Amino acid sequence: MRQAFGLAILLLVSSARLACSAETSLPEFRDEASTWHDDYLTGLRAAREAKQLYLIWFADEKDEAANEKFAASVLQSADVLPLLAEMTLAKVSTAATIEKDDKQIKLLEHATLKEMLGGPGLAMIDFRDEEHKYHACFVSIYPFRRGAITVPKLKVLCELPAGTLTQRTLMFAVRTHPAKPASAWSPHSEYLAREAEKHSRHQASINLQGHHNWEARFHQINAGLGVGGAKEVCAESWPGQSLLDAAIECVDSWSQSSGHWAAVSTRHAYFGYDMKRGTNGVWYATGIFGGR
């Protein structure tokens, strides 16, 4: 996983340089409360030095009106500005390229940015804690395919507990569901997140959704967490869905089951979420909760 999401370090240690042609350069964007870098690598180095989240806005250089609207209505919102002030920020073009080995490589075509779907949107890299496996990795990706992110959703994205890209995407989908289920607002447990990761990976490895070996895992999870009452929910996406669409689909699936939705809707002592994709193109999601 670290290798798969390690574009940040790959570009940092290489001799690559971000380049935009005159035809694809973006109009200057200034925010009185925040400093936005206009170069990906410059921002990357600044975020690493500051040990902060690095938020990259991939802006469509062909739609200046949409960019200006998003900047004014979302990025300069009073609810968002204090959160952005704690991050390193960059605005780069969707056509931005890096020069490596005498070749121009489009940034959005790199494998670690596949979930951006080749278009405008937001991405986050986490430089806050070197001890975590997701340090210097992409931990949030939000493509604007269905329209730019709203202020409430960006606020949620900025305030998510630390975690991997798949964990934070599923937490985001739970927190932004219209019914406002409470589980993802409970105290986050790295232990339960690891357990959810393991079970999601198991489901993906056999391409089969289910509470496999739950009886044994139930007792092990209770003992490891130190509280009783462990519960688990599982779901699967449609084949071929993007990560964000799959996460939303899995939460919608839980909402159709009274038993699953009762667990997802309840505030627990602790929670953890994760999801993994099988070789069949299906994402398998797991939520595990402990205590009351």
Residue whose tokens read 């960019």: 67
The CATH homologous superfamily for domain 7-159 is: Glutaredoxin (3.40.30.10)
Residue-level pLDDT, tens digit, the chain, 292 residues: 343 344 444 444 332 333 223 233 344 444 444 689 999 999 999 999 999 999 999 999 999 999 999 999 999 999 999 999 999 999 999 999 877 677 888 999 988 999 999 999 999 999 999 988 899 999 999 999 988 999 999 999 999 999 999 999 999 999 999 999 999 999 999 999 999 999 999 999 999 999 999 999 999 999 998 888 899 999 999 999 999 999 999 999 999 999 999 999 999 999 999 999 999 999 999 999 998 6
Residue whose tokens read 């939460």: 251
| Domains of the chain, residue spans | 7-159, 183-290
H or E element in which residue 206 lies: helix 190-206
The hierarchical CATH code for the domain 183-290 is 3.40.33.10
* Cβ atoms of 26 and 40 closer than 8 Å: no
271: alpha, beta or left? (left if phi > 0; alpha if psi -120 to 50): beta
Cα–Cα dist 70/189, whole Å = 34
Q: For the full predicted model, state whether its pTM sits above 0.85.
A: yes
Cα–Cα dist 139/54, whole Å = 10
The three-state (H, E, C) secondary structure of 249-283, written as one string: HHHHHHHCCHHHHHHHHCCCCEEEEEEEECCCCCE
